[in-house]
Structure 1
């Protein structure tokens, strides 16, 4: 992990997360934002980040509007919600809005590090006591539900990605422009809530998806 953005309006929380990350990932370059607006400006200016830790309650956001804004502007950006609340509905809503994970501020330092490592490995992290077990969808159900969000053309593109095709090869096979292919790939990553083509392929393989 090379670059991390900590977005929280409380300096003490930012300092705490900075300490945890700097100790566990001593090569990481850390950035801080005290609002969603500032976070957007930093990402737009600095480019790619490996991870964004975003506080649920920011002064210039309501509900998950900050998460939604960042996901819309930067669809490949892994964003993790951080909050003092561990309500099951809040956690599930964060994941549904595209968060790569949900880390309670009450976690021990070692647990926060473990959560970050799990997210960097491509997993979606939620607290162990998240929600009633009867309400939790299985991983396969979650993947299939995300797949259902894809348009027919996006399913075709994903099938070609799974087959190992590059963007230029997909463009040739479908007789479309590279711009169109890139738009499809970006939409696929957003809808599947993943941050790379490799992670999309991993999800597809878990349910045996090879294309329409």
Structure 2
């Protein structure tokens, strides 16, 4: 449950600052460094807040079942056991009264729009400065919806459209392989997952690089990340 900050004025009287503070939040991200970074923000801005952590959607649901209500869930857009916004949708179905803020390195306008349409209480880019993240969280905690300022530059929009067109040119199997590349899997892991030979995987990767007009799998992953592609 939320608490309200209290301070003392110059006459020694307690005053209500009308700043709503969270009692308990859940951070869901599969990268411990990201969780540590978000935890440190809460420790500085909301020092009395209890922080719960989970590295997957399954762990998050279990944590919520075991610990009861939380005031806020910070959910990474791309954790291993979710696809696109399925994690948000699962949390909204199971815990409709709990505000969920998406946290992501992807700031594609369509992804932000879809997340808010699916019931997210906010969308916080990981690129925001700490002070801006705190302001965004305070806005959500107070009952508002936070939407980041997104570039409307025509060049950015044209680049995103070009990337989507190149991804659309891939065959279904090539898009699956690209999804595995984005997930950081090696060729031998992809071959095992798809039950195909290494030669087949290498052929798919070569075709992907050619169709996306890049020279390395890293470039392909970066390009795919700009439009939130996960496979």
Question: Common fold, TM-score beyond 0.5?
Answer: yes
What do the CA deviations read for 1:133-167 (whole angstroms, capped 9, x no partner)?
A: xxxxxxxxxxxxxxxxxxxxxxxxxxxxxxxxxxx
Q: Secondary structure at the match of 2:127?
A: coil
Shift in CA distance, 112/89, structure 1 to aligned 2, threshold 3 Å: same
Q: Secondary structure at the match of 1:26?
A: coil
In structure 1, the residue matched to 2:165 is none
Listed as ranges, the matches of 1:1-212 within 5 Å are: 1-129=22-150
Residue ranges of structure 1 left out of the alignment (5+ in a row): 133-212
What do the CA deviations read for 1:157-202 (whole angstroms, capped 9, x no partner)?
A: xxxxxxxxxxxxxxxxxxxxxxxxxxxxxxxxxxxxxxxxxxxxxx
Shift in CA distance, 126/112, structure 1 to aligned 2, threshold 3 Å: same
Partner Cα separation in structure 2 for residue 110 and residue 76 of structure 1: 27
* Aligned pairs, number: 132
Larger Cα Rg: Structure 1 or Structure 2? Answer: 2
Q: Secondary structure at the match of 2:74?
A: strand
Partner Cα separation in structure 2 for residue 47 and residue 8 of structure 1: 19
Q: Secondary structure at the match of 1:60?
A: coil
Partner Cα separation in structure 2 for residue 128 and residue 85 of structure 1: 13
CA RMSD of superposed structures (Å):
1.1
Alpha-carbon deviation of 1:128? 1.7
Alpha-carbon deviation of 1:131? 5.6
Alpha-carbon deviation of 1:48? 0.6
Q: Secondary structure at the match of 1:80?
A: strand
In structure 2, the residue matched to 1:205 is none
Higher strand proportion: 2
Alpha-carbon deviation of 1:6? 0.3
Higher relative contact order (CA 8 A, sep 6+): 1
